[in-house]
Amino acid sequence: GNSVTQMEGPVTLSEEAFLTINCTYTATGYPSLFWYVQYPGEGLQLLLKATKADDKGSNKGFEATYRKETTSFHLEKGSVQVSDSAVYFCALSDLRGSQGNLIFGKGTKLSVKP
Amino acid sequence: DAGVTQSPTHLIKTRGQHVTLRCSPISGHKSVSWYQQVLGQGPQFIFQYYEKEERGRGNFPDRFSARQFPNYSSELNVNALLLGDSALYLCASSSLLAAGPPYNEQFFGPGTRLTVL
């Protein structure tokens, strides 16, 4: 079945460091791919998305490119800030049937130190 | 505009009890989905409702049920609670049925934290 695998955390970085969080997926068809962020005590917020191969999603300095050949959607940011500390979830849209709901990875906790 | 709201925020129950969780979608959204997020894991899809009809169900036992009301709010019911039902229950609303292309975003509420003792 469809699934998402993302790198395990926690990830601890210093402010202004480069961030990469790896995400790979298994899916039939051509799902859309997403990164969601969850700040402490809050629900999920969509960070960025890509709906077809080679699309690059970007938001707030974060980027991810939909790579069909490697079935990957790695999240990157050139210079992280303390305010980026959160849990990041990679997800894909499950297009089986007509529901199109989301399948999430286990999440990667990011801590950024000043 | 108000986002997705959920009530209650926290809930403590004992094994065998029943629980009802509530969700109000963003105004104008007709689709509501429920997810279970166990501590340290990603959310898992439980149900989707659209226009008051069940449109999708995840791999959860029949103890879990839900419904959607004419005003598009929704309830998630869990019977015969088990310790393993302890989790954050998230509700998400969207304006269209599918989350795939043409993509429409799912907006998540803050969740209800259920603890089963």
Q: What is the DSSP string of B38-98?
A: -TTS--EEEEEEETTEEEEE-S--TTEEEEE-TTS-EEEEE-S--GGG-EEEEEEEESSS-
* pLDDT of A15 above 60: yes
Contact B99 A44 (CB under 8 A): no
* CB-based contacts of B105, cutoff 8 Å, min separation 6: A46, A49, B94
State both tokens at B116.
């089963």
B91 close to B46: Cβ distance less than 8 angstroms: no
- A&B contacts, CB < 8 Å: 75
Residue A9: its pLDDT value, please? 84
Nearest residue of B to residue A102 by CA position? Answer: B45
Average pLDDT, stretch A104-111? 96
Residue A8: its pLDDT value, please? 85
Across the interface, of B99, B101, B110, the residue whose CB is closest to A101 is B99
Torsion, CA A18, CA B39, CA B91, CA B67, rounded to 10: 160
Average pLDDT, stretch A50-67? 94
Confidence of residue B97 (pLDDT cuts 50, 70, 90): low
Would you list which residues of chain A are within 8 Å, Cβ to Cβ, of chain B?
A: 4, 31-32, 36, 41-46, 49, 51-52, 89, 91, 93-95, 97-107
State both tokens at B77.
């019911």
Nearest-CA neighbor of A89 among A46, A20, A37? A37
